[in-house]
Structure 1
Amino acid sequence: MALILKPEGFPRPDTRLRLTVSYGETDRMGYAYYGHYPHWFEQARGRFIRERGMSYAAVEARGVWLPVRDMAVRYLRPAHYDEDIVVRAGVAAWGRASVTFVYQVFGPPDDGVLLAAGETLHACTSPEGRPIAVPDWLRSLFSV
């Protein structure tokens, strides 16, 4: 996995999700707990799909599931309690039966400091978990 550590190399189209780090998302030092980043990625990925006119549930209703096969996160600087952050998401690569999403976490938004970069590789499967080719409609949906 090649994490995208520079904003200018990020794929288009993309989405940006604004969040505020809650007290419950922090550790004793007031830093965002590392385990919350994948959840933030999931929220941004869901927004990416919704902004293209379909929900994750609607994709599944059409018989396409996208389970995570692999994930990587590079933590560069901590996000802090009560800090506004932005999670950016986009599609970086397509396989015959997979799609790779990439993420960047910035904070605070006014400074635009890159806090973390991540990637999730999703298998494209039937509801029964069998690999299927990425449908053309899904590839088209994620490209607008």
Structure 2
Amino acid sequence: MALILKQQDFPTPDTRLQLTVSYGETDRMGYAYYGHYPHWFERARGQFIRDRGMSYAEVETRGVWLPVRDMAVRYLRPARYDEVITVRAGIAAWGRASVTFVYQVFGPPDASWLLAAGETVHACTSPQGRPIAVPDWLRGLFSA
């Protein structure tokens, strides 16, 4: 996995989701707990799909499930309590039966500081968990 650390190398189309780090998402030091980043990635991924006119639930209703097969996160700087952060999501690669989403988390002091970068690889499966080829409609939807 090669995490994307430069803004200019990020794939398009992309989605940006703004969040405020809540008190409950922080540890004793006031830093966002590392385990929340994958959840923020999932929220940005859901927004990426919604921005293209469909919900995650609708994708599943059409018989396509996208379970996470692999995940990587690189933490560069901490997000802190009550900071506004932006989670950017896009698609970096397609496999025959998989799709790779990439993420960047930006935050203060000027909303352009890269706090973390991540990646999730999703298998494309039937509801029964059997691998299926990425449908053309899904590739088209995500590429629009």
- Please classify the TM superposition score into its range, dividing by the shorter chain length: over 0.9
Q: Which letter maps to 1:50?
A: R
Unaligned runs of 5+ in 1: none
Q: Alignment RMSD, CA only?
A: 0.8
- Equivalent pair of 1:98/1:134 in contact (CA under 8 Å): yes
| Distance (whole Å) between structure 2 residues aligned to residue 109 and residue 124 of structure 1 | 38
| Distance (whole Å) between structure 2 residues aligned to residue 125 and residue 94 of structure 1 | 14
- 1:64 and 2:81 correspond: no
Following superposition, the deviation at residue 109 of structure 1 comes to 7.2
Q: Which letter maps to 1:76?
A: L
Counterpart for residue 42 of structure 2? 42
TM-score, with length taken from structure 1: 0.99
Q: Which letter maps to 1:89?
A: A
- 1:106 and 2:106 correspond: yes
TM-score, with length taken from structure 2: 0.99
- Equivalent pair of 1:45/1:89 in contact (CA under 8 Å): yes
Counterpart for residue 19 of structure 1? 19
- Hey, which bits of structure 1, 4+ residues long, moved more than 2 A? 108-111
| Distance (whole Å) between structure 1 residues aligned to residue 111 and residue 42 of structure 2 | 24
Structure 1 residues 65-94: Cα deviation after superposition (integer angstroms, max 9, x where no partner): 000000000000000000000000000000
Q: Which letter maps to 2:48?
A: F
Counterpart for residue 89 of structure 2? 89
Counterpart for residue 7 of structure 2? 7
- Equivalent pair of 1:69/1:123 in contact (CA under 8 Å): yes
How many residue pairs get matched? Answer: 144
SS in 2 for 1:116: strand
SS in 2 for 1:129: coil
